[in-house]
């Protein structure tokens, strides 16, 4: 806004040389508005306005100062925060299929640096996103050997710790798993119960759905598995 004010008054009106600087008169503007001083730029009397770079430099300095001021201000405390998470893993033979911390019998599993738990990774990202924090790949990079084969419950516990540290608790969670096989109906309640345990939430606020992909693309061809999660965090 400061830059806009500066450019508005700097360009259209040439400044005449004078030992005294008369009040700036703006055509079509009331006397009260015309007497406002310019907040960002100091004008020097000259025969003609011939130095646009000075105005641009001053305006740029004003914008930089405002950005620095905003960056220094503390994060706003909100009564609630919403986060969305998404994850997808390739399914390959020879790996366990772990969903929500539960080992699901299947001829394929998730190929990943950790245990490849697509649901927990997704929930972690949703919580981190709601808090305005970096994503799971930045906090637990797959280039770090210590996370090789790690249980995703470790990532969940850290996300929950950060949530409580920020002064929030889970309002509700809604997750959707997308895979062609196996059918998750026999395992949904075990997955949901373990998810509630990891988050420390009542089952009434945690919902879990499973969908096929109608045999379309890698998800529908049993070559991958994906998950979406939305979380609502409430201020304690």
For residue range 78-119, what is the model confidence (pLDDT) as tens digits?
A: 999 999 999 999 999 999 999 999 999 999 989 888 889 999
Tell if the pTM clears 0.75, that is, is over it. no
Task: Answer yes or no: are the C-beta atoms of 58 and 3 closer than 8 Å.
Answer: no
Q: Write down all domains in the chain, each with its CATH number in brackets.
A: 2-72 (no CATH), 80-235 (3.30.1330.50)
pLDDT confidence tier of residue 67, bands split at 50, 70 and 90: very low
Given a cut of 90, whether residue 235 has pLDDT beyond it is yes
For residues 34-51, average pLDDT: 45
pLDDT at 113: 83
Whole-number percent of the chain with pLDDT over 70: 68
pLDDT at 214: 92
Given a cut of 60, whether residue 17 has pLDDT beyond it is no
Average pLDDT for the chain: 79
∠ CA 166-208-96, nearest 5°, is: 95
pLDDT at 72: 52
Given a cut of 70, whether residue 27 has pLDDT beyond it is no
**Backbone torsions φ then ψ of 184, nearest 5 degrees:** -95, -5
Neighbours of 155 (CB within 10 A): 25
Q: Structure tokens of 149?
A: 């084969």
For residues 169-181, average pLDDT: 97
Task: Answer yes or no: are the C-beta atoms of 109 and 97 closer than 8 Å.
Answer: yes
Give just the sign of the alpha carbon dihedral 82, 120, 171, 207. positive
Q: How far apart are CA 33 and CA 50, in angstroms?
A: 26
- Residues contacting residue 70 through CB under 8 Å, at least 6 positions apart: none
Whole-number percent of the chain with pLDDT over 90: 58
Q: Structure tokens of 180?
A: 């062609």
Q: Among 69-83, 133-147, 194-208, name the one with the lowest average pLDDT.
A: 69-83
Q: How far apart are CA 54 and CA 66, in angstroms?
A: 19
For residues 120-128, average pLDDT: 96
Using DSSP, state whether 149 is helix, strand or coil.
coil
Given a cut of 90, whether residue 65 has pLDDT beyond it is no
Report the number of secondary-structure helices (H) and strands (E) in the chain: 8, 7
pLDDT confidence tier of residue 66, bands split at 50, 70 and 90: low
Task: Answer yes or no: are the C-beta atoms of 83 and 233 closer than 8 Å.
Answer: yes
Q: Is 49 exposed, middle or buried (0-12, 13-18, 19+ CB in 10 A)?
A: middle
pLDDT at 182: 94
């Amino acid at each position: 806004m400061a830059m806009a004010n500066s450019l508005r008054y700097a360009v259209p009106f040439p400044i005449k040389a004078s030992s005294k600087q008369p009040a700036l008169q703006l055509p079509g503007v009331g006397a009260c508005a015309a007497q406002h001083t310019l907040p960002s730029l100091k004008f020097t009397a000259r025969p003609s306005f011939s130095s646009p770079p000075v105005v641009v430099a001053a305006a740029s300095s004003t914008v930089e100062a405002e950005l620095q001021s905003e960056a220094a201000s503390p994060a706003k405390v909100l009564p609630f925060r919403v986060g969305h998470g998404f994850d997808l893993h390739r399914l390959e033979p020879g790996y366990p299929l772990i969903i929500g911390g539960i080992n699901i019998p299947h001829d394929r599993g998730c190929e990943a640096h950790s245990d490849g738990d697509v649901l927990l990774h997704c929930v972690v990202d949703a919580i981190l996103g709601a808090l305005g924090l970096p994503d799971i790949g930045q906090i637990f990079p797959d280039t770090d050997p210590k996370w090789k084969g790690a249980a995703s419950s470790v990532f969940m516990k850290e996300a929950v710790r950060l949530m409580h540290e920020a002064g929030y608790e889970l309002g509700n969670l809604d997750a959707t798993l997308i895979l062609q096989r196996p059918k998750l109906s026999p395992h949904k309640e075990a997955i949901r119960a373990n998810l509630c345990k990891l988050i420390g939430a009542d089952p009434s606020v945690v919902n879990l759905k499973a969908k096929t992909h109608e045999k379309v693309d890698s998800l529908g061809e049993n070559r991958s598995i994906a998950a979406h999660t939305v979380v609502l965090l409430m201020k304690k």
